[in-house]
Amino acid sequence: MNKTYSHIIIIVFLLLALRSQAQQVTQDAGLWSSLTIEKEFTKKISASLSEEFRFNENITELGSFFTDAGITYKFNDDIKISVCYRLISKKQLENYYSIRHRLYFDLALRKKIKKVTSGFRIRIQEQQADIYSSDAGAIPEWYLRPKISMRYNMKGKWTPYLSSELFYHFGGKVFDNSRYTFGVERKITGNLDLDLFFLHQREMNVKNPTYDYIWGIGLNYSL
């Protein structure tokens, strides 16, 4: 894939994710914080464990928190696959936390051209909620989540990036959510990285969509 073609794909994808109609919207501010620990067992196999807390309602309420564990196999520097499990607790209107189980599979590709690294990730995820307390709990919900990203490899410790992601709901046969993110990563030590980002998330193809404006901070530690 040549440089011009890959950049055209990225621009089209970003425009699709940002497209919206004139609607009445609900807006909210949030804060996402995470800690991720990674361990490389061989040059091809690694594992990760993450804990994340997501605050919403203008950063006044713990909307959800989860533990995420995964294994990654790297074919080469540009292609890798991952299988992950996520245990989620999500706040409900009735003031309790709903338990969700999510299993997902990622295929990630990347292409580096000089200082710019373009990435494409496709995710297939299956999720079940309230398995033991809901009649519909055993029915899985399936999503397809394509994501593109661009990173600029600066000299030094800072790495800015952009990404855009769409959510396709298999049951509804429609894209129902989109995200786009601007962030910067900084290497603190040889094993510790800091990730700072701003994320805009919006519902799609609904009458009164919700728009979220989210600040995020993450720490990534490699064992």
* pLDDT tops 70 at residue 193: yes
| Predicted local confidence at residue 205, as pLDDT | 87
Q: Residues 103, 177, 63, CA angle at the centre, nearest 5°?
A: 70
Mean pLDDT of the chain, nearest integer: 88
Q: What is the tally of structural domains in the chain?
A: 1
Q: List Cβ neighbours of 36 (8 Å cut-off, separation of 6 or more).
A: 48, 49, 50, 218, 219, 220, 221
Q: What is the pLDDT of residues 31-44, one digit of tens each?
A: 999 999 999 999 99
| Predicted local confidence at residue 101, as pLDDT | 94
Residue 214's pLDDT band (boundaries 50, 70, 90)?
very high
Give the Cα separation of 139 and 169 in Å (integer): 14
Helix (H, G, I), strand (E, B) or coil at 59: coil
Q: Which residues of 69-82 are buried (b: 16+ CB within 10 A; e: fewer)?
A: ebebebeeeeebeb
The mean per-residue pLDDT over the stretch 3-29 comes to: 59
Q: How do beta strands 141-152 and 158-169 pair?
A: antiparallel
* pLDDT tops 50 at residue 20: no
| Predicted local confidence at residue 131, as pLDDT | 72
Q: What is the pLDDT of residues 104-115, one digit of tens each?
A: 999 999 999 888
| Predicted local confidence at residue 30, as pLDDT | 93
The mean per-residue pLDDT over the stretch 87-95 comes to: 90
Closest CA to 116 of 89, 150, 144, 73: 150
Give the Cα separation of 196 and 215 in Å (integer): 8
Structure-model confidence comparison of residues 206 and 149, the more confident one: 149
Closest CA to 128 of 138, 118, 119: 138
Give the Cα separation of 45 and 36 in Å (integer): 17
Neighbours of 31 (CB within 10 A): 17
| Predicted local confidence at residue 201, as pLDDT | 93
Give the Cα separation of 142 and 132 in Å (integer): 19
| Predicted local confidence at residue 2, as pLDDT | 54
Q: What is the pLDDT of residues 118-162, one digit of tens each?
A: 999 999 999 998 776 666 667 889 999 999 999 998 877 899 999
Residue pair 210/200 in contact (Cβ under 8 Å)? The answer is no
User: Which structural domain, as residue segments, surrounds residue 185?
Assistant: 3-222
The count of residues in the chain is 223
Q: 110, exposed or middle or buried, with CB in 10 Å at 0-12, 13-18, 19+? A: middle
Element (H, E) at 183: strand 174-187
* pLDDT tops 90 at residue 22: no
The mean per-residue pLDDT over the stretch 50-60 comes to: 94
Residue 21's pLDDT band (boundaries 50, 70, 90)?
very low
For residue 37, give the CATH number of its domain: 2.40.160.40
| Predicted local confidence at residue 47, as pLDDT | 97
| Predicted local confidence at residue 197, as pLDDT | 96
| Predicted local confidence at residue 153, as pLDDT | 86
